Structures are given as structure tokens and as C-alpha cells.
Amino acid sequence: MQKMIFKNKNRITLISGILIIIAFISHFGFKNELLFELLLIIASILGVLPIAIQAYQSLRVKVVSIDVLVTIAVIGAFLIQEYEESAIVTFLFLFGAYLEHRTLNKTRSAIKELISLAPETALKLMDTGGFEEVEIEDVDVNDILLVKTGSKVPVDGKVITGEGYVNQASITGESFPVHKLIGSMVFAGTILENGTLQIQADRVGEDTTFGKIIELVEEAQDSKSDAERFIDRFSKYYTPVVLLLALIVWLISRNIELAITILVLGCPGALVIGVPVSHVAGIGNGASHGILFKGSEVIQDFSKVDTIVFDKTGTLTIGNPEVSEVIAYTDNQEDVLTYLLSIEKESDHPLSKAIIQFVGERKVVDVNKTDVVKGGGIRAQIDGLDILVGNHSLMKRENVQLSQSMLEDIDRLEMKGNTIVLVSINRELQLLLGIKDQIRPNVKEDLIKLRKMGVKKLILLSGDNQTTVEIVAKELNLTDAYGNMLPEDKAHFIEQLKKKGEIVAFVGDGVNDSPSIALAHIGIAMGSGTDVAIETSNVVLMNSNFSRLVHALGLTKATTSNMIQNIVIAIGVVLFLLFNVFFSEWMNMSIGMLVHEGSILVVIMNGMRLLNYKLRR
């Protein structure tokens, strides 16, 4: 019976409304009082059924909900034969719930759009040599898949044949197509606008980047911030207080109609819905712009940030450095380059990519052993030779002797803004490489915007030499810059800032950034970064576009402001209604319920404005 009533709740609302309209037509048009009262009684009984069932279910778990207040009020109005009031209140409450459900669904449109983009089938290479369409669940890692023009990429994978342009808006928020060649990575849920690709599956199903985005957004929309948890606790005690107030008013005044009206007007509906609708809309806007917030509480914390700390490579810079200068201290440079290439091929550091690109194609040799020295470089063995590849600190630590001319070369390249990579064999320096990275476009303008939005300190921490770091900091007008920082140094620096009472965000992209990202109040990972950095972060900028950081901060401030507006609206309406109950003659149950439901729609529509939020230029 309960299932049937809930299933037909919207129909009950419609029938109740029609009965009320017919009742008033019979009253004013035909002066038929008997039919007028009969129709209102039927509308009242019909309308209170779903409300009373929800009230009963709340009481079973020892919660005095809004439905309990309305049910008591309607039954009271019915008993004192105020059928007009009871019918109108039940209809308005049900109709308000219907509109609330419809508009709330719109605030979740971002996640619905994401889910609709999820691929359902794929063209898989079969043992027969042909491609057949299969369900996405039947695709495994390393399967070969065919993607045609206009089709969705079904999995994360690497292009092995063909080329084309892929729209990655579902992943990065950018609608500009990206050129994909052999060796390029493609992502599930993106669309091949032209060309034909064969890809080898790397991640499938929920493990794809797209799958993780959906999971993160769903979890974020379902999570609750401190403000929401406070509102939940507040309403848990507030509703019984309203019930007690109504009882006291009745005991003092013996006016049952006044007591019932207080029950209706005191409902905290707009207060309960106002905060979550703001957060859901804010998270939805972020998702559509390639920004993932991992929970509602992240939005509030991020909006309070006054200090942002940046890693350099891949964050403030493009992360695609190039070798600008090489100095050899050996006549056997070709062999040293071969050793260097063999070692760097086993690393995924941005500097490794620059070195591999510089050295070019040549035969590599077997590397017997490699040890990664955090914040220093790599220690390796090849054919019995002890080889070190890393920065000046690593050479000092390993007692590699550097002549005065070598130190002067290092200083000269550092003054030009180069990152220094040194190569030694058996503790003798063989090569000096200067590597430069380009600052991301428009970063300087974006940093100015961050300052205007209330960020007081912009700090750079990097493993690069101090001179290189200072050159970047000076160009970008940063507050402070510190070089030669190991991962543990960065983490310690973040802890010290927190102890001073600063609200800190850390922006990075590498494995070495993960401790700092995890320690900061808000950890922000660039989407092009490592899985570890993304997993430990609170916010992910999917397309690694630095301007998304500015949008993210502006959005969190707008969301927090919107939430406060909704709380003020909700409390203001309740106080206004209760004031007029005691100090005016025009307030009654029907008008109160109409204003009450209207306030719920106002806070929902106010929250929905965040779906269209764009940063003002």
C-alpha cells in the first residue's frame, strides 16, 4: 500500500489540486456548500496520506521531521473542520516537494551528462583478425580496439595505428580537439572527431580516467560539509522545538488554529535544502570545467585559502623542458651519452624526457642496477661502472670532486635559468647539461587574479637550484621562492606554514609532490601529473590548464557565498512568518505554506545559478 502511494505521489498531488479547484468553483459558482466541503475533505485525506507515511517512517527512527509537523497541522485543521486550510496545505506541501525534486535534478545535470558520455560498446580485434562490436565489460587490458570518426573512445589506451583529432572536453573541460599520433594516450569518454585509430587498452571500466572522474564527482556530490552536518543536527533539534512551541502556545492561548499555524510556518525546509543545493551545483560546475572537488568540505576549505605554494616543473612551467646547453669534460662523450640514455629510459621524470629527446635514437645497454635518490637524481651501475645522474647536491653527497672551472660553468648556466643535470662515472664528472623549461602561458596574469581574490602569499618550492628558482619567481612576482628543496623539505615547509595559522594550498604534479599535497589544507594536482599526486589531492585540474586554478578558487568563493545567502533567506523567511503570526491578522496556514514552499524554490534556484558560474575577467 505504501509503495503504491509513493509511486503515485505526483498523481495524488494532481488529483488533490483538481479537487480543490472544483471545490472552489462549486462554492463561488454554484453556492453548493455540501459539495465544497466534501471535495475538500477528500483532497485533505488524499493529500495527507504520503505525508503521514513519511512522518510515521521518521518517527520509527526517532526523528521528528518536517513531515511530522505538517501531518499534525493537517490533522488538527481537519479536526477543527478547517477543511479549506487542510486541503490547501497538503497540496502546497506535495506540489513544493515535486518542484523541489525537479529542480534538484537539474543541479545534478553535470554528473548525468558525464554518465551519458560513458561508452557502452567497443570494436574489438578478435582472434579471427576482424573487429567485432562487444559490450564494454568484455574489453580487457591489452586488447586492440578500433575507433572510427565520430565514435567515443571506449578505454584509456595508447594509439598504435592511425592519427586523428580527439575532443577531450569530457576529461579536461576544453573543447579544442587534440591531435593524436602513434604513441599518444587517449582517454575513455572522449570523441574522435576525425580520423581512424587503433588503440591498445591500458585501463578499462571503472579504472579509466573517465570512470574515476564519475566516481569522484558522485562521491563529492553525496558527501557533506561541516555546514551541512551542522544544519542536519540543527534541524534534528529545531523541529521538536517548533512542536513544543506550538504546544505551549496552545496551552496558553487555547487557540488550536494559532498552534497549528505555527507548526506549518516553523518548517525548516529551505534551511535543510539550501546548503546541499549550493554544494551540488558548485561541484557540477567544476566537473563541467575539468575541475574535480573531492567532497563538499573541500569547497569551504578552499574558499578560505590565503597561501598557495607551487611546485615549479609541470605546474608553473609547461613541464616539457629542453636541453639548452651541454658541456663535456671527457673525450669519450659518445659512450657517456649511451650510458645516460640507457639510464634515463627507465625514468618518467620530465627532465628525463628532455634528455632522451636530446640524445636521440641510439643503441642502449643493459643497466644492472638503479636507485632513485629523492630530490637528487639516479644512482646506477652499467658494466661495473658507478654512474650518477643528478643535481649538484647529489654530486656533493657522493663525493664527486668538481674543479673551479666546473663550478663556474654550473654558476653560469644557473644564472641563465637552467636546471643543472650532472653525469659522473666512478666519481669523475663527465657531462654538464643545462635544461630549461618554459613558463606556462598567462600564468603571470592568473597569479595577479589569485591575489585579487584574497590570496596573500604565492610561494615557489622546487628541487632546482636557487638561482633558477629566483629567476622564475622574479618574472612571476611571487612572494617567496626556495630552491634545492627535497620532498621532505617541502613537506616540512608546509607544516611550518600551517603552524603559523595560514590556510595553505599546495599545487603540484609529481610523485615527489605527494607528501606536500597530502599535508596541505588543500592539495591540488595537475591532471597531467602522476596517479599518486592525483590520489592524494583534494582538487584535480584535469587539463593542467593553470587558469582552471583561478576558476576553481573563484567557484569555491561563489559557492560559499551562495550557501550563506541561502541560509539567510531560509532563516529570514521563518522569522518573517512567525513574526506575522503573532503581530498581523492576515497570516494563516495556507499563506504560510505558500511562502514556505516559495522560499524552498528560491534557495534552490539561487543555488542553480552556480551551474552557469564563469569567472569575471
Between CA 520 and CA 375 the distance in angstroms is 20
Between CA 337 and CA 360 the distance in angstroms is 10
Torsion of Cα atoms, 258 then 261 then 262 then 263, to 10°: 130
Residues annotated catalytic, as ranges: 311
**Scanning the structure block, which residue is given the C-alpha cell 572522474?**
213
- Could you tell me how many residues make up the chain? 617
Eight-state DSSP code of residue 311: -
Please name which of 5, 111, 97 lies closest in space to residue 56, comparing C-alpha atoms: 5
Eight-state DSSP code of residue 375: T
At residue 132's C-alpha, the angle toward residues 128 and 135, to 5°, is: 130
Torsion of Cα atoms, 609 then 612 then 616 then 617, to 10°: -170
Element (H, E) at 583: helix 547-583
Query: Cβ-count burial of 575 within 10 angstroms (0-12 exposed, 13-18 middle, 19+ buried)?
Result: exposed
Between CA 163 and CA 178 the distance in angstroms is 11
Give the three cell numbers for residue 63. 526523528
Residues in contact with 84: Cβ distance below 8 Å, sequence separation at least 6, in sequence order: 40, 590
Between CA 248 and CA 259 the distance in angstroms is 8
